[in-house]
Amino acid sequence: MRVPLLDLKPQYKLLKKDLDEALIRVAESQYFILGAEVEKMEQAFCQYLKCNYALGVSSGTDALLIALMALDIKPGDEVIVPAYSFFATAGVVSRLHAVPVFADIDPVTFNIDPDEIRRKITRKTKAIIPVHLYGQSAAMDEIMEIAKSKKIKVIEDAAQAIGAQFKDERPVGTIGDIGCFSFFPSKNLGCFGDGGLVVTNDQELAEKLKILRVHGAEPKYYHKIVGGNFRLDAIQAAVINVKLPFLGKWSEKRRRNAETYNKLFVKARLSDGPGRISFDNRNPVLIPKAIYKPEKGPQPGEVQRMVNYHIYNQYIIRVAKRDELRQFLTDNNIGTEIYYPLPFHVQECFLNLGYKLGDFPYAEEAANSSIALPIYPELGKEQMEYVVNKIKEFFEK
């Protein structure tokens, strides 16, 4: 059996007619940058995310960069970020000659630890970038409380979490000052190239973001500030417009696949349940836990609402001998990925910041032991059973 890490072809086959028509519509309009398709997408996201303003931008990375620019982050300013995330989270800070200040993560959620944020704040701290890593919300109530008490801005990196909600059912990305999303093809909602989104409920920030998106020009060719080319292609927006109505269903399928995996790992006696943080003979596989979940199910006669507290952009397990397991799974035609093998504080480009190995033990442990398994919506139960059986075979050897 072959189980790829991700297979986008079934999704395209399902939506082929509408996607092809959308691409032809853009080609016939000959309007390729911003325009009607982007405006339609932005309006749809205002409704979907229940926010006041949404702007399509050129990528998830550029969403983070333009957010920092809108908040007027300057050289020497400090921005607190998790030590464990995709590179863009910290890279955009350095691109503005500001200083990324790393904080350790929670060992269960992989998200930034609020207590670590408190310890890292100085008089130079101007912003915090919590990441909703792998599709689960960070502890936004605590983070926002810290930020408001210190008058620090919050940029949510929701690149992997479109459709996820916080415990009070607020969509992630709409809780801080600015939210940033990515439409990279492998995301839960992906376009046909690079694309991103910034959202805010602040009118002044929205107006500034809109100007920054077009080189800081307002009106055209008149520049009061220096912006960048952060415009979204119409083709990418057209693709998102077709896919967005299906996002809730896809997220629910991912969640159900994750629940199936969890049950299979427990049944195979590889784990005694989600949320463990250390390995032992009873738990050679640490499986993910959705932290924010409804405390009670539907009452008799009620319909279960689709509430996604974790939308599983990735299904991450942690194991000892991770690299050996990955090779074994590769040999058995199972796709995997390692997100992320090296925390920020030991990346060569950040060595000048003075951190050393051992400074962020939970981030380092995640980097050394985590591995992503296939989780895409079209994944079948037989494929998941094959994955778990092969992992059991590996540990039995």
Tell me the average pLDDT across 374-390: 97
Same-domain pairing of 119 and 152: yes
pLDDT tens column, 219-243: 889 998 999 999 999 999 999 999 9
User: The dihedral of CA 5, 238, 92, 107: what is its sign?
Assistant: negative
Same-domain pairing of 252 and 383: yes
- pLDDT value of position 302: 45
Same-domain pairing of 211 and 322: no
Strand pairing report for 78-82 and 125-128: parallel
Residues spanned by the domain of 297: 247-396
The SS3 assignment for 314 reads coil
Token duo for residue 320: 């000892």
- Decide if 4 is inside a domain: no
- pLDDT value of position 70: 97
- Decide if 3 is inside a domain: no
Give CA–CA dist 132/140, Å, rounded.
10
pLDDT tens column, 318-350: 999 999 999 999 999 999 999 999 999 999 999
pLDDT tens column, 86-142: 999 999 999 999 999 999 999 999 999 999 999 999 999 999 999 999 999 999 999
- pLDDT value of position 313: 96
pLDDT tens column, 156-172: 999 999 999 998 789 99
Give CA–CA dist 95/73, Å, rounded.
11
Q: Domain ends where: 245, 262, 295?
A: 245
- Helix (H) or strand (E) run with residue 198 in it: strand 196-200
- pLDDT value of position 308: 66
Same-domain pairing of 339 and 328: yes
pLDDT band of residue 79 (cuts 50, 70, 90) is very high
Same-domain pairing of 253 and 241: no
pLDDT band of residue 299 (cuts 50, 70, 90) is very low
CATH of the domain at 319: 3.90.1150.10
State the chain's mean pLDDT as an integer: 93
- Decide if 264 is inside a domain: yes
Residue 293 confidence (pLDDT) above 60: yes
CATH of the domain at 175: 3.40.640.10
pLDDT band of residue 305 (cuts 50, 70, 90) is very low
Residue 298 confidence (pLDDT) above 60: no
What is the pTM assigned to this prediction? 0.93
The three-point CA angle 66-148-81 to 5° equals 50
Q: Domain ends where: 220, 245, 270?
A: 245
Query: Which residues are CB-contacts of 349 (< 8 A; sequence separation ≥ 6)?
Result: 94
Q: Domain ends where: 201, 221, 245?
A: 245
- pLDDT value of position 283: 85
Q: How many domains does the chain have?
A: 2
The share of the chain scoring above pLDDT 70, in percent, equals 96
- pLDDT value of position 301: 47
Query: Which residues are CB-contacts of 97 (< 8 A; sequence separation ≥ 6)?
Result: 74, 75, 76
Same-domain pairing of 123 and 201: yes
